[in-house]
Structure 1
Amino acid sequence: MSAGTLVIGLGGMLASLALLIWLAYRGWSVLLLAPLCAMLAALISGEPVLAHWTQTFMSSTGRFLAQFFPLFLLGSLFGKLMEDSGSVDAVARLMIDKLGTRHALVAVVLGGALVTYGGVSLFVAFFVLAPMAQSLFRSANIPRRLMPAAIMLGTATFTMSALPGTPALQNAIPMPFFGTTPFAAPGLGVIASLVMAGFGLWWLGRAAAAARRNGEGFVEPDNGGADDEDRGKSSLVRERASLAQAFDPAEIGNGAAASDHAGPPSPFAALAPLVVVVAMNFVMNVVVFPRIDASYLAEPRWGSTTLSAVAGVWGVSVALALGIIVLVALNRARLGALRESVDAGANASVLPVLSVGSLVGYGAVIAALPAFEAVRDWVLGIGGGPLVSLAVATNLLAGLTGSASGGLTIALDALGGTYMQLAAQHGINPDLLHRVAVMSSGTLDSLPHNGAVVTLLAVCGSTHRESYRDLVVVSIVGALIALGVVIVLGSLFGSF
């Protein structure tokens, strides 16, 4: 490739990416933006546009849907049923009742961690936790500007990317690429979780103490919080949010709330589905699958695949399905309109999976362009070894796209096979690659244009100016520190 052709190709890639980011940030749907920007890059590079449209973009998008739509569907359904049955509300109130206003920050963080680690969608947790956190912060006279950081710390940091076994989509994405399970590198994951949680709570406690010394307390939002749900479902927020997590915020208000005559769920009825998801995820991936003969998967009719390539998705799917069954059995009386709740949960999965799939298709076209070889060589040439270059590549893509799942999938689609080869050469356990990749996707993704950030601020009635500084510290700085700890420990001692 001549220098001129390389420059033109790189320029086309950068121009298409800049256009994608700018228009997506302004609320344009990525369903249309991703293919248009991908075709623009192909056109500038002198590549066959229609061939990339059908054979590269659509094929990659289809593979993503085939692999991960079960997790989007079951995860959204589980989260919606947990919300409509009052179970998320009951779990959050349980933590608040046990810890009280003296430990308001800890109560919000642990309440969010408990429901999201149990499989509840991030956005469902946002809409339930925000009003409770507001009430708790008001009673404790803690500045409202700290609410988004506290909720984000509990819902979208260690339970999303570090805690072993988490059913979060990000923890499932590396499994087909590396042949791993959701429990990859459990010891490192636990250490990283303690670092993230400990650092975040330390920062929030320090910020709250400084506010008290300065005479700063809780201040009501301008609208009293009355329109939080409407603002959280605005079209702008919805388009950005669809790239961040597997739940469409527009479905939050659909379905039916828990029946009043049945009363709130007991702690057992609220917690049991979460426990089932975590326990069955472990049983399927650690106990069942290693003991079954799945050689039949090598046959062409099953896609000529292997158990290691599908076991992770199977395990999480079975865990969520059983969690749904237990949830409905224990809370049937509270689900007054079960069909409406099921419909809303299923519908909530469609826009996110198609949006992220389109973003993955965009990445596949970019990775197929001749000029991308220079980008790949640059990434692989980053000093510090494969773990560092994997972390940098995933961080950059997650940050640029504003999507942990989208950035992670693009990175692994383009470079996953290469990193597996490097891991074999350097004696690196694929479990370590898995944990580093997942944690790297959950750092710079929380830049200002991230859908989860935009949605959370809207639901909390806050602004970037008021709350983003503290949110950055707990969700980006803390995550980067934990990632550094994992890379150092993994380089010294391997995966454990």
Structure 2
Amino acid sequence: MDFLIVLGALCFLMFVAYRGYSVILFAPIAALGAVLLTDPSLVAPMFTGLFMDKMVGFVKLYFPVFLLGAVFGKVIELSGFSKAIVSSVINMLGRERAMLSIVAVCGLLTYFGVSLFVVVFAVYPFAAELFRQSDIPKRLIPGTIALGAFTFTMDSLPGTPQIQNIIPTTFFKTNIYAAPTLGIIGAVFIIVCGLSYLEWRRRQAARAGEGYGTDLVNEPEPFEHEKLANPLIAILPLVLVGVTNWAFTRLIPEVYGKSHSFIPAVVGKAAPVVQDVTKIAAIWAVEGALLVGILTVFVFAGKTVVSKFAEGSKSAIAGALLASMNTASEYGFGAVIAAMPGFLVVANALTAIPNPLINEAITVTSLAGITGSASGGMSIALAAMAETFIQNAQAAGIPLEVLHRVASMASGGMDTLPHNGAVITLLAVTGLTHRVAYKDIFAITLIKTAAVFVVIAAFYLFGIV
């Protein structure tokens, strides 16, 4: 019964998300409905002590990233830099390679360490422009961005600084370059299959005479100036965001140390405020990098941006608020579900799978799907079962580096179900609905889930790491 309650809450939330209802409203309803059916006395304590605590904690940490990411994307749009980049890409690669261009840009940004959410805001303006000029249906933009930002550079390629590749290092004592050959094999599989699928969908639409679309929402502002910026200048803010994020990630811990404290200047005695820098350095780095990117746009296109910045910033802030609250509600839902007895039933049942790597892959991707979070599902799975995974792997002669890569890639498998925060953010930013655009995101989800088992097969067949 406990398992059915958890499953029912998950299915309900996926259903309402797919139907277009607000996750901000229905995530707590789904979570607390499950609590009500399990133990009614815990509804209020779970809501305040767990759901709201996790939700507010997420906003505290990540709202500045969402806000700065939205503003960065807006100034890229208002400056005309997005159109300049698009025109240059079309000249170099041709209109028929629009999807490859977007995947490449998303991949570069995420591999430089830019947050997946920030990439959505930053890339959408010129993705929309490129798809419009190429007359590709707008509904294919979310699937294209998902392939570039949510897959191979998130957890497959060795060295990626995304959190999904960092979490396993603490459990397996590995580094972010673990199992490089297997990671590259998985990345190539995802890129080839993903681009082949998206190209097939584009050709289908072209044969049916379907163009970009009309009566769309959240469309970027048209750039009215005839003269476009030099493409090298236009892409400079994006490059600087990636480079400075990498630099700040290394510089901030050296400047502040592992922790930093200060005493507020108030009347009377005040306790010092202590900040654990190790937990926040990556977020500070992204925020600093986005500020550099925004200032760079103003330096090169200040007059153009300022004239529309008042209205443009309002829409950017509204988008950031909606995206962050959607994701925060999902985070609260995942925390409540993970505390339910039914969730423990699922976790315990998964331990019965005999093969160590398949056990790990299915466990991590299942928990990521249930919680709607790659990092959340993997953290829960590894915190509970890492020692078991290690013992079984050592008994079977499997290197811990392989455990790392499988866990990382599996976390980015079934995490992107309809209730996933990144999916909801992506659809909100692009102004599309699950019914219109989720089919392609789900196809990418299946491809990246299959990639985990391709990697496992490659290890067993060839013994490569």
TM-score normalized by the length of structure 2? 0.74
Matches within 5 A, 1:261-410: 263-285=227-249, 287-289=250-252, 291-292=254-255, 294-297=257-260, 305=276, 307-335=277-305, 336-385=307-356, 388-396=358-366, 399=369, 406-410=372-376
Cα deviation code 1:283-340 (max 9, x no counterpart): 233x4256456243599956674x4433332332322222222222222122122343
Q: Deviations over 1:61-101 (max 9, x none)?
A: 22222332232222222222222222222222211111225
Q: How has the CA–CA distance of structure 1 residues 258 and 395 changed in structure 2, closer, same or farther, with 3 Å as cutoff?
A: same
Instruction: For residue 365 of structure 1, report the CA deviation from its aligned partner.
Output: 1.5
**Paired residue secondary structure (2:341):** coil
Match of 2:60 in 1: 66
Matches within 5 A, 1:190-269: 191-202=185-196, 218-221=207-210, 225-227=213-215, 229-230=216-217, 233=218, 258=223, 260=225, 263-269=227-233
Q: What are the superposed Cα offsets for residues 39-62 of structure 1, whole Å, 9 maximum, x if unpaired? A: 221121125211111111111222
1:330-351 deviations in whole A, cap 9, x for unaligned? 2212212234333332332111
Residues 386-426 of structure 1: CA deviation (Å, up to 9, x unaligned): x644543453355567xxxx422541463353355557766
Residue aligning to 1:44: 37
Shift of 1:439: 3.8
Q: Which amino acid aligns with 2:374?
A: L
Matches within 5 A, 1:403-482: 406-412=372-378, 414-418=380-384, 421=387, 436=406, 439-445=409-415, 451=424, 468=439, 475-482=444-451
Alignment length, in residue pairs?
436
Of 144-153 and 34-43, more deviation after overlay is shown by 144-153
Q: In the aligned structure 1, how far is the partner of 2:400 from the partner of 2:414?
A: 23
Q: Is the CA contact (8 Å cut-off) linking 2:27 and 2:333 kept in structure 1? A: yes
The AA in structure 1 aligned to 2:209 is E
Q: Residues 361 and 14 (structure 1 numbering): CA distance in 2 closer, same or farther, change over 3 Å?
A: same
Amino acid paired to 1:348: G
CA 1:451–1:11 in structure 2 vs 1: closer, same or farther (change >3 Å)? Answer: same
**Counterpart-to-counterpart distance in 2, 1:390 and 1:80:** 41
2:26 to 15, 33, 36: 33
State the SS of the aligned residue for 2:259: helix
Where does residue 176 of structure 2 map in the other structure? 184
Q: Secondary structure at the match of 1:185?
A: coil
1:429-460 superposed Cα distances (whole Å, 9 cap, x missing partner): 99977765554454445567854786799869
SS in 2 for 1:348: helix
For residue 81 of structure 1, the aligned residue among 64, 75, 86 is: 75
SS in 2 for 1:184: coil
Larger CA deviation: 412-421 vs 36-45: 412-421
Change (3 A) 1:331 1:38: same
Instruction: Please report how far the alpha carbon of residue 21 of structure 1 lies from its aligned counterpart in structure 2 after TM superposition.
Output: 2.2
Gaps of 5+ in 1: 1-6, 234-251
1:157: Cα distance to partner? 3.8
Question: Does residue 94 of structure 1 match 2:88?
Answer: yes
CA–CA distance in structure 1, aligned partners of residues 145 and 290 of structure 2: 23
Deviates more, 1:371-380 or 1:413-422: 413-422
Task: State the SS of the aligned residue for 2:229.
Answer: coil
Q: Secondary structure at the match of 1:129?
A: helix
Q: Decide whether aligned partners of structure 1 residues 184 and 86 sit closer, same or farther in structure 2, where only a CA change above 3 A counts.
A: farther
- For 1:274, the aligned partner's letter is L
Change over 3 Å in CA distance of 1:419–1:54 after alignment to 2: same
Where does the alignment leave 5 or more consecutive residues of structure 2 unmatched? Answer: 263-270
Deviation at 1:371, TM superposition (A): 3.5
Distance 1:219 1:152 in 2: 24
Change (3 A) 1:303 1:456: closer
Residue 479 of structure 1 deviates from its aligned partner by 2.0
Partner of 2:268: none
| Aligned-pair Cα RMSD in Å | 4.4
Identity %: 28
Q: Which residue of 2 aligns with 1:19?
A: 12
